[in-house]
A and B are shown apart, each in its own frame.
Chain A
């Protein structure tokens, strides 16, 4: 699908070209090269080993789980896994970088080319677009600097120093802020399905470097800028819009885009120069002599593959095949927790199509009201399946189901127990129904006459009145049947 997103300039329409480098924190107990913990929010410098602080003579030893998670992530995006890779040092000085270099992978990354397919419109398969992935490499995170604690000093906390990151580098395949947003959301979903990154952008578990350039459609790529460390989908989209506009204006005024690194200021919604190419770093990458080449065995790769869960695309297709609408399937698979919860609902025997409708309409509504996420839904999947079962087998009506659901939320009890206790069972007892119908017909003789005179739409009125009289517990099928027998 070709994007028609254009920036209108004085000289005509411009196309924006976007590539994203996403840093995703790998889920692991210990750091990439040391045994220090990775948990978020610890006291400063309490999760720092002598290795992370780059004490003299300290050496890195890689954490298998971090490699494993990166490989699994690569497999999840159909990427080439490089059985031979290597760590390189990226040399630069900064107070948050104790070694004076970051251990990363430039020349031989762990994961090569792959791709991610995004849907620009959740209801429309035809809106699918494939975004190429250039590579995924594994590297260390830096520490953190605090600038507001002291008038003349910055404070250094190394808790993050050495935490494993995957840098996921896309090809410059995106052409609109919406595409970039869809890509990021999809990437985040995949990472969370795989379990290799928690995708928590507020805690910095995922952040993006946004590469933007503009060109007249069909022409060569323009000079790009890189806006660093953007930490939400919304901000990434804002950066692209702002940066594309800025570049178009600049070029049309006769200027030239400088290849530079920029920073995004969310408060002012602008990007500004961090450093230009002239004073760019010369990172002097070279193979880290403390680490031998990383060679992966087939058994390791097999385990990585075998441990992959069903991924969002496959899950969505399976749901659709069960008769679930494209929209519902898309909503149900967007977040791994929802998908897992829904799968356990199906496992508990719920009918897929109804279950999907119920989750999207009823459960989401209730969770929204309660301000709860699906993992701490007060109604378990087993209980929900029970509720849907009672509707399906005619034990309760759809409207009683809503009442039962409310009571389930309040009490945490099972659906059957509530129906039993509160006497909400639907009745098909024709005697009781007939008695009520007779009363209603007698009390509304005028309407009966109108109906018989051809005002067919009054049938609904009689159904409603009967159901009301039966406190919703009458089987609607039986009510219909008895009413027709008496009226027609």
Chain B
């Protein structure tokens, strides 16, 4: 598979990365280079092979239903670019 500038633009939109036309154009061949290279996996016969789910044999542990965190608004907001009245503020979202 290979991508064109429009597809790169679409991916950039999905990833929320602003890209100039020049950046998009420059990325097209790079993108295709990398995709072409990873596509060698097509040579591998994976019929009947399960995708890996856990790197190391291990079970998911579950936590007890105890409130032992939160109530730390100052820490939560401390690094915010714009915190107002205990909220994070963002450019107005219109639904």
A and B touch in the complex (CB under 8 A): yes
Interface size in chain A (residues, C-beta < 8 A): 51
Take A29-B65, A34-B70, A154-B92 as given contacts and tell me if A62 and B86 are in contact as well, using a CB distance cutoff of 8 Å. Answer: no
A49 to B94, CA, bound (A): 27
Whether a CB of chain B sits under 8 angstroms from the CB of A258 is no
Contact of B93 among A36, A51, A147 (CB under 8 A): A147
Which A residues lie within 8 Å of B60 (CB)? 62, 291-295
**A49 CB contact (under 8 Å) in B72, B82, B88:** B72
Asked if A1 is an interface residue, CB under 8 A from chain B, the answer is no
User: Which of B73, B93, B94 is close to A48, meaning CB atoms less than 8 Å apart?
Assistant: B73
Structural contact, A61 and B61, CB atoms closer than 8 A: yes
- Smallest CB separation, B21 vs chain A (Å): 21
Residue of B nearest to A45 (CB): B73
CB distance from B52 to the nearest CB of A (A): 10
Contact of B62 among A48, A64, A154 (CB under 8 A): A64
A43 within 8 A of B: yes
Residue of A66, A86, A156 most packed against chain B (CB within 10 A): A156
Once the chains bind, are A35 and B94 in contact (CB under 8 Å)?
Answer: no
- A51 to B69 Cα, complex, angstroms: 9
B interface, size bucket: 35 or more
Q: Are A154 and B76 in contact (CB under 8 A)?
A: no
Establish whether residues B70 and A146, one from each chain, have CB atoms under 8 Å apart when the complex forms.
Answer: no
CA distance A28 to B64 in the complex (A): 10
In chain A, positions 142-158 with a C-beta closer than 8 Å to chain B are 145-147, 149-158
Binding site secondary structure of chain A: loop
Taking a contact as CB atoms under 8 Å apart, the answer to whether B85 and A37 are in contact is no
Report the minimal beta-carbon distance from A231 to chain B, rounded to whole angstroms. 15
Q: Does residue B75 face the partner (Cβ distance < 8 Å to A)? A: yes
Chain B residues, Cβ within 8 Å of A62: 60, 62-63
Cβ < 8 Å to A, chain B residues 42-95: 53-54, 58-73, 75-77, 82, 84-95
Among residues of A, the one whose C-beta sits closest to the C-beta of B87 is A155
Please determine whether A52 and B70 come into contact, CB atoms closer than 8 angstroms: yes
- Determine the residue in chain A with the shortest Cβ distance to B93: A154
In contact, A36 and B91 (Cβ under 8 angstroms): no
In the assembled complex, the CB of B20 is this many whole angstroms from the nearest CB of chain A, namely: 20
Residue in B closest to A62 when the chains form the complex, CB atoms: B62
The answer to whether the Cβ of A112 comes within 8 Å of any Cβ in the partner chain is: no
Name the residue of chain A whose CB is nearest to the CB of B82: A153
Residues of B within 8 A of A (CB): 14, 16, 53-54, 58-73, 75-77, 82, 84-95
**A-B complex: 5 closest residue pairs judged by Cβ atoms:** A36-B70, A35-B69, A65-B65, A155-B87, A64-B62
